[in-house]
Amino acid sequence: MSGGPVRILTEPSAAMALLSEVVQAADSDRDALGFFSRSVYADFCRKGQLFVAVESDGRDETYAGHLLFDLRFPKAHVRQIYVPKANRSRNIGRTLLDALKTMLTEAQFISIHARVAEDLKDANVFWEAQGFYAQRVEPGGASRNRMIVVRAHELDTPQLFAPSGISAVDPLGLDALEGGGKPLYLLDLNVLFDLGPRRPRHELAMSVFRAERMRACSLAISSEIETELRRTAHDGKTDPMLSFAGTLAKFSTPPDDEWGRLSPMLAEIVFPQRHASGTLSENDRSDLLHLATAIHHGLPGLITSDGRILERAPELRRRFGVDAISPELFQVEPDHTASPVVHEAHSADIIEVQPASAGDAAAVRSLLTNLGLDTATQVNEWAATEAGSSACLRHVARCNGVVAGYLVMPTSVRGQEIRAFAAVAENQRDAHEIAQTLLRHVLSIVKPGDVGRVRLSCPPRQATLREVAATFGYVASSSTSDDLQKIVAKGRMTERNWDIGRESLAAVSKLRLPDTPPPFRHVDQQISVIRPDGQKVLIPLFKLESLLAPMLMCLPGREGVMVPLRKQFEEHLLADSPQDSFLPLGKAQLAPLRHYLSDKKTLKNYSRGDLMFFYEPVKNGGAGAVIAVGRVLRAYLRDESAMQADDLAPSVLDSSQLSSIGVAKTKTITVFDNVLRLPRPVPLHELRALNCGEAHQLITCQRLSSEQVQAIVEKGL
């Protein structure tokens, strides 16, 4: 392959000299490009709407690709883009598009559109990489019966209307979610008083302020608190709480007419008997004024220890959209304080994740300092010295006993968002596996069947952690450069549970899937999604499952494959084992992408996007049932002599065990992800009733029809 410098010819006269090469190249791939006559290319070229890439060998310039486009101000439409196979992987296609983007931006165009056949996987990947998001799907010509993806790219030009904000980087629009910024709560006076060291609820009040310091929320007071403190102060004495309250942000009470409207409604809810008898006290009116202040300013809620207000929280939320929150919600939940977990790394090293102790403070601060975090950030946002704090979970990852990673998760108020701060010592040889261990620990907070939202903060110098996070489905936040975001959906959506799954996803992520499950065409078909900002986007099914991993959409018509997995291997290959183990967890469990090895003859049975069911044989105490389902990413052949660590590490086998899966020296390696155990294993007699449970079928990989897939998933759920 030649590799001389490439330049783009944009002048019509220069491009016209290579018109014959352009026509010949386009005709060589009519399946992807369609057919235009020579006169069409000549006409586009005369109008300056044909760019040609040429490469130079020092003497001559030869054709290296072309871009054909139509201009209808303020939009441009790409009609063809082509680069010969010999010149691909040299970014020539991107260079052609960049030249077009530059020209159109200078001419004040607002967008570029392209039409791509939905089944052309590589072409769609290319357009996505160039920032063209899917705008809609429409039928193509009747002769080929294709679905066409209409893609759009918004240019950075001054526009009368604001751009959509849709991008291929964050197609789900997670920055629009509530909780992307810190919620701001008003404090009731009783919470401030509980800061006193002798108060029985002192630790709860301290948790509220620790949560603010760790960016879980912001705190403010109503001006009514100062009035209340002055009213209750002893003559001639200064109340120290009044001085402290002056350090907090303050919101004014509502105007008289607004207070006159709200007070009777709030009194009827919180103090119904006293309101009816007209016996409200000054303290009662003060409590109601705090609520009215939050409602008037549109604040999320009021933090209070008053049992009467907390009892009426559901009705206050329903009628006024304001939350009455107890300080108890600012403490970590007991079931989240996980016990130590030990993993085998891909080397001979042992990685252990355990709660951080006071003795780890020096090592944690050294780690964060080396990653460029200043002392104030370490202490406040990263809780580097908060041993024993009830407002956050703190864990360290030790590699052979040495602290090599750190994870802190502040309490999640109202469960809106799982906030996590993670750091990894990238000079460690096992940095990749340490990052995987910490990120798996974050995802373990979300229980099977549930949906969760995660916002992950990383130090600026964390290339490895970011790379690993991408394999878990994290996307970058446009609002904060060091933040990553993810929706975690630990479930399987079927035709029967579609409505429940759809509502669960919407409740947590504000993402709306179609009202009914679309029939399965192929894994790259476009799925309509309504984002949190109300915009409709189209996302390929395969990519949507990756973004919501480990979720799978078991759509009607989707096929699969079933494979045997012995019990001694199952415990290490599949995550979330129902039984605790006293031994280190297998290295395969660290990676979101795992490998299943089988005989070379099974290669033909695997297709990208298949649902992959794992059958555990009865032998050696196995369940004799299908116990889990995942998704096939790809499958390939590898000779035993060429097996590398990257092939074996995500599996449960080492080189000495390869003979146990067949005498042939060439093996099939199937890469799979999004694996979750079925809540109910599907036993052998039910598999036989589905014509996929006979002895000769269960000893090897077998294809499953869409009907068999649907039946197994329904029984397993």
- Amino acid, res. 16: M
Q: What is the mean pLDDT of residues 336-360?
A: 71
Cα three-residue angle 490-128-605, rounded to 5 degrees: 55
pLDDT at 503 over 90: yes
Position 580 scores a pLDDT of 42
pLDDT band for 612, please (50, 70, 90 cuts): very high
Cα three-residue angle 530-533-537, rounded to 5 degrees: 35
Position 202 scores a pLDDT of 86
Number of neighbours of residue 140 by Cβ within 10 angstroms: 15
- Amino acid, res. 445: I
Residue 143's contacts (CB-CB under 8 Å, 6 or more residues apart) are: none
Rounded CA separation 303/218 (Å)? 11
Q: What is the mean pLDDT of residues 674-700?
A: 92
User: What does pLDDT average to over the chain?
Assistant: 85
CATH number for 560-716: choose from 1.20.272.10, 2.30.130.30, 3.40.1080.10, 2.60.40.420: 2.30.130.30
CB-based burial, 492-523: b 16+ in 10 Å, e otherwise: bbbeebbeebbebbeebbbbbbeeebbebebb
Q: What is the mean pLDDT of residues 433-447?
A: 89
Write out the CATH class of domain 184-330.
alpha beta
Per residue in 48-69, pLDDT (tens digit) is: 999 999 998 878 899 999 999 9
Position 201 scores a pLDDT of 87
Superfamily of domain 6-168: Gcn5-related N-acetyltransferase (GNAT) (3.40.630.30)
Rounded CA separation 521/540 (Å)? 11
Position 169 scores a pLDDT of 63
Q: Which one has a higher pLDDT value, 44 or 241?
A: 44
Rounded CA separation 136/155 (Å)? 19
Position 703 scores a pLDDT of 96
Going by C-alpha positions, the residue among 667, 661, 695, 678 that lies closest to residue 611 is 678
Do the beta carbons of residue 210 and residue 391 sit within 8 Å?
yes
Strand blocks (E) in 533-624 = 536-540, 552-553, 560-564, 594-599, 611-616
Do the beta carbons of residue 294 and residue 304 sit within 8 Å?
no
pLDDT at 159 over 70: no
pLDDT band for 629, please (50, 70, 90 cuts): very high
Given strand 301-303, what is the order of strands in its sheet? 249-251, 218-222, 184-187, 301-303, 323-325
**Pairing between β-strand 301-303 and β-strand 323-325 as defined by DSSP bridges:** parallel
Q: Which one has a higher pLDDT value, 298 or 1?
A: 298
The single residue listed with the structure tokens 């910490």 is 438
Decide if 6-168 and 560-716 have a common fold: no
pLDDT at 587 over 60: no
- Amino acid, res. 661: I
One-character DSSP codes across 184-229:
EEEEPHHHHHTTSTTSTTHHHHHHHHHHHHTTS-EEEEEHHHHHHH
Going by C-alpha positions, the residue among 684, 680, 687 that lies closest to residue 717 is 680
Lowest mean pLDDT among 252-266, 368-382, 641-655: 641-655
pLDDT at 243 over 90: no
- Amino acid, res. 78: V
Do the beta carbons of residue 445 and residue 405 sit within 8 Å?
no
pLDDT band for 584, please (50, 70, 90 cuts): very low
Locate the domains of the chain by residue range: 6-168, 184-330, 334-489, 492-553, 560-716
As a whole-number percent, the residues of the chain with pLDDT over 70 amount to 88
Going by C-alpha positions, the residue among 655, 652, 626 that lies closest to residue 641 is 655
**Pairing between β-strand 147-154 and β-strand 111-117 as defined by DSSP bridges:** antiparallel
pLDDT at 581 over 90: no
- Write the CATH number of the domain with boundaries 334-489: 3.40.630.30
Sign of CA dihedral 688, 694, 695, 700: negative
**Structure token digits, residue 699:** 């000893």
Per residue in 513-526, pLDDT (tens digit) is: 999 999 999 998 99
Q: What is the mean pLDDT of residues 590-608?
A: 88
As a whole-number percent, the residues of the chain with pLDDT over 90 amount to 40
Q: Which one has a higher pLDDT value, 58 or 508?
A: 508
**Pairing between β-strand 301-303 and β-strand 184-187 as defined by DSSP bridges:** parallel
Per residue in 441-496, pLDDT (tens digit) is: 898 888 888 999 998 999 987 888 988 888 888 888 765 567 888 999 999 999 99
Highest average pLDDT, of 148-157, 262-271, 337-346, 575-584, comes from: 262-271
Highest average pLDDT, of 153-157, 382-386, 568-572, 674-678, comes from: 674-678
Q: Is 421 left (phi over 0), alpha (psi -120 to 50) or beta?
A: beta
Position 583 scores a pLDDT of 42
pLDDT band for 339, please (50, 70, 90 cuts): low
Rounded CA separation 526/706 (Å)? 19
pLDDT band for 588, please (50, 70, 90 cuts): low
